[in-house]
Structure 1
């Protein structure tokens, strides 16, 4: 099968939802008070600065194509990073964040307090296969990512491509690119916080995609700002 020359994934910049979610988690709240639907949460001013820094990094790699999640914070990240670059950009709903259904806008404390049966079911099934009512499992998201990447490889063989998406997407693309197992992916997710506007990338080596960067933030000019613990507005409670 044809490979891409280079593949990168950028997590969106810091959003207003990230800030509110972090405050709710650290404050011991059960729910995250965000007025917008998840798809409409915007970037903060810092998030836009982070996106500009991503743009300076991507200019060195000259990707042919950018594929972007339809969520506002992700589109704003891509539009800011790619402004004036001439890079082709397409929005694809298969890059949207994982849908949490009944768990949406609940913190970890909130799930335990309000949905104890779901908390027990998730603990029994594991995060990879657990599907919250009205939501998706990690395996569900991987199905749409596999289809998207297959199309990109077929339509842009040998090209450089960057994805603008969400925290879980970064982890799942690594799972697919490097052939990780379920336990390896879950261990990685448990020990790693994917930073806002971090870059993870893989480069073709023969018939393989070899890892190049993972969760890199060296390009950011505000490295004193720690990454948020929450993956997105509807951050998956841990």
Structure 2
């Protein structure tokens, strides 16, 4: 086998930034009250609960279905998600592997626009807001930041190393929605415009699971943005293309 046996990508639990951005949008204001770096944004109370639910669900899985290797984004919200899940599982008698950190699994780098709401960008950098509208979300490169092609390049390298170093094993990646999008682009050859339409109908929810399994020499999508582990209900998303 020249790939991992199974690849599961987990988006981190709800973060303080997720809450602040949603609140600012709902109120129609630019400011969200956050300070500091995106990399240091913590989980929200709901995010901690979601990570706990993930750990409970993992503890209930058969041993031969739990992850054998875990790699995590260095961002605090991703590391907190896995630490809480693993600690919860351990308290229930299930041992999960500690996460290795891979800097290539960070969220999309927004450079000078880091942690800015759309209204903040429009007010402070109107030329960038116009360029974003013209280029589109995936092709736009903020000053000092990345396009999605840049994200895909680093995620591609990280996945290649996982396939080389952990072929035949169940591997989990704890990261960000941008990493999930990049993985689908890489593994399925989906153009970003198609992925944009998919995510519009099936958002990549916090702590959702996107899973691939090895078959016929390659990794095939099994489920996308699944949240049944958070609710106890059968709510796996359809395999949209």
Q: Aligned pair 1:77/2:87, yes or no?
A: no
Q: Give unpaired runs (5+ residues) of structure 1.
A: 224-238
Q: Identify the match of residue 114 of structure 2 among 104, 114, 120.
A: 104
Q: Give unpaired runs (5+ residues) of structure 2.
A: 234-241
State the distance in 1 between where 2:142 and 2:55 align.
Answer: 36
Question: 1:88 Cα shift?
Answer: 4.2
| 1:76-118 CA distance string (max 9 Å, x none) | 1011112232414201111111111222232222223332211
| 1:20 match | 20
The structure 1 segments of at least 4 consecutive aligned residues displaced by more than 4 Å after TM superposition are none
The answer to whether the 8 Å contact 1:32/1:105 transfers is: no
TM-score for both structures, normalised by structure 1: 0.86
Q: Aligned pair 1:92/2:102, yes or no?
A: yes
Q: Identify the match of residue 159 of structure 1 among 169, 187, 195.
A: 169
Aligned length: 223
The answer to whether the 8 Å contact 1:11/1:166 transfers is: yes
Deviates more, 1:208-217 or 1:104-113: 104-113
Q: 1:49 to 1:173 in 2, by over 3 A?
A: same
TM-score for both structures, normalised by structure 2: 0.85
SS in 2 for 1:94: helix
| 2:10 match | 10
SS in 2 for 1:220: helix
SS in 1 for 2:229: coil
| 1:228 match | none
State the distance in 1 between where 2:112 and 2:191 align.
Answer: 27
| 2:42 match | 42
State the distance in 1 between where 2:132 and 2:17 align.
Answer: 24
State the distance in 2 between where 1:121 and 1:65 align.
Answer: 41
Question: 1:55 Cα shift?
Answer: 2.0
Deviates more, 1:125-134 or 1:194-203: 125-134
SS in 1 for 2:228: coil
| 1:37-59 CA distance string (max 9 Å, x none) | 21111112321221122123334
Deviates more, 1:67-76 or 1:205-214: 205-214
Question: 1:207 Cα shift?
Answer: 1.7
Root-mean-square deviation over aligned CA pairs: 1.9
| 1:105-132 CA distance string (max 9 Å, x none) | 3222222333221122222222222110
Higher helix share: 2
SS in 2 for 1:219: helix
